[in-house]
Amino acid sequence: MLTWLDVLALLTAAAATAVGARKGLAFLLVFPLALALYLAGLPWLPPLAWPIAALVAGFLAAQTVGRLYFYTSALWESLLGGLAGLAWGGLLAVSLWTGLPAEFSVATGAYRYPSPKLPLVVQEAVAKSPFALPLFDLIQREPVLKKLLINANQPPGPTAPKEASAGQ
């Protein structure tokens, strides 16, 4: 069964695909530019702001590329723009499914997703989603995806006690 989180992510992907098909070939150029802007901003943003950052990056790139004109057939324009929109929408959907805060458990050495500090309605939506937990687990296992999609800082390790002084 789909949850409200799944519906939101799938609607986002569908909307991005439709916008890409409508905008045409220019959107194919927008996608790499927006992706570069998005990835450049990830280290400075909290995970909850990543979907908003993706939307802003896409909007800024679209405004830049939207001033260009291409001379191809309408079918190719729509097809290429739709493919780029699908890729961008897929990235937005994955960021919605996996962008919620996770909590590192020292006892198990793994992340608990979503964080138990989130409201219960959000925790239930992630737990019942057929996409959120498998995607989060996949991203945790793949180092490249983890670096790209999760601001992968090293998990907190045990700290050394500071009781010993240099003279002892």
Q: pLDDT tens digit string along 5-48?
A: 999 999 999 999 998 898 888 777 777 777 777 777 777 878 77
CA distance 70 to 77: 9
8 A C-beta contact, residue 100 and residue 126: yes
Nearest to 33 by CA among 54, 4, 3: 54
Q: Name the residue with tokens 């959107």.
A: 27
Look at residue 70 and tell me if it is in a domain. Answer: yes
CA distance 48 to 101: 7
Q: What is the extent of the structural domain holding 78?
A: 4-98
Q: Examine the pLDDT at 168 and tell me if it is beyond 70.
A: no
pLDDT in tens, 98-148: 888 888 888 888 888 888 899 999 999 999 999 999 999 898 888 887 776
Whether 47 and 128 share a structural domain: no
Number of domains in the chain: 2
For residue 103, the surrounding DSSP H or E stretch is: strand 103-105
What per-residue confidence (pLDDT) applies to 148? 66
What per-residue confidence (pLDDT) applies to 149? 64
